Copies of this chain bind each other. A is one copy, B any other.
Amino acid sequence: MRNIKLIIEYDGKSFNGWQKQPNKLNIQGEIEKAIGEITGEEIDLIASGRTDAGVHSLGQTANFKTNSNIPIEKFPIAINSKLKKSIVVKSAEEVDERFHSRYSVKSKKYRYTINISQYGSAIYRDMEYHFPFNLDVQKMQEGAKYFEGEHDFKAFKASGTSSKSSVRTIFKAEVIKNEDRIYIELTGNGFLYNMVRIISGTLVDVGIGKIKPEEIKDIIESKERIRAGKTLPARGLCLVEVKY
C-alpha cells in the first residue's frame, strides 16, 4: 500500500478540534471523508497530534494508507475540491511505509499570538488572544529561556490528563514583538496537553511582573500545575510546522 503524507492548514474556529467524534464537525473526519470520496476507500488518517477546538494550523501533518493509483501531485487539488474552504491541503508526498505522522515526529513548532492593543482586532479576533496590558517583552524573553532543554513539564500540562511521561525537550523558546502583537514561539520534540497555552499564560504572568523570569526554573522543578500561569484561550494557538 502507498503511504501518503499531507501538510494541512486549517481555520480552527470552524471546528470542534482535529479529532473524529460523532455529531461534531471535526477536521480529521472532514478530510477522511474527502479522501474516501476520491479513492473509494475507508481512510484512517493519522495526525502528528490532535489540536483542540479553536486551535489553528499552518502545518499539521497527517498520513494515510491507500491502494489508489491517483498520481501524487493530483492529491492536494482533488482533496481540496471536496473540502470546505476552512481546510486546505498544502502538499502531498509519498513516503516510506514505516513513516508515521505521530511516532516519527522530530520536532513541532507552535506559535501563540497575543494582541496587546487597547481594544483588540475585529479582523483577526479569532486568531489571537486580546490582552490589553503592557507586557515586559524583555522579561518574557528571559523567562522563555528557562523552558529550553529537557525538563519534566508536569507543572505545564492540563491537570487530570494522563500520559506516560511528562518529560519533553524544548529546543527553542522565543518571544517576538511586532507592533501591537507578541508572538510566543516554541519548538520541541513534543508537547503535553495544553502545554503551549499554559507556558504562554505563565510568560504573560512574567510580562506583567507577577512572576520573575528566574522563577520559571522553580515552577518547572515544583511539578505543580498550580504554580504555573493560566491556560490561555485556544484561538491564539497555531501549529506552525512539524519536522520529521
Interface residues of A (CB under 8 A from B): 9-11, 56, 58, 76-77, 80, 85-90, 117-123, 125, 127, 238
A85/B122 in contact, CB under 8 A: yes
Bound: A77/B119 CA distance, A = 7
B9/A123 in contact, CB under 8 A: yes
Expressed in whole angstroms, the minimum distance between the Cβ of A77 and any Cβ of chain B is 7
A123/B10 in contact, CB under 8 A: yes
Q: Which residues of B contact A86 (CB under 8 A)?
A: 122, 125
Chain B minimum-CB-distance residue to A127? B123
Question: How many copies altogether?
Answer: 2
Contact among B90, B118, B123 with A11 in the assembled complex (CB-CB below 8 Å): B123
- Pairs A–B under 8 Å by Cβ, sample size 16: A9-B121, A9-B123, A10-B122, A11-B122, A56-B123, A58-B123, A76-B119, A77-B119, A86-B125, A87-B122, A88-B119, A88-B120, A88-B121, A90-B117, A90-B119, A123-B238
Bound: A122/B90 CA distance, A = 10
Expressed in whole angstroms, the minimum distance between the Cβ of A233 and any Cβ of chain B is 13
Q: Which residues of B contact A80 (CB under 8 A)?
A: 119
Bound: A119/B89 CA distance, A = 7
Chain B minimum-CB-distance residue to A80? B119
Bound: A117/B80 CA distance, A = 14
Chain B minimum-CB-distance residue to A117? B90
Expressed in whole angstroms, the minimum distance between the Cβ of A152 and any Cβ of chain B is 33
Q: Which residues of B contact A90 (CB under 8 A)?
A: 117-119
Chain B minimum-CB-distance residue to A56? B123
Chain B minimum-CB-distance residue to A79? B119
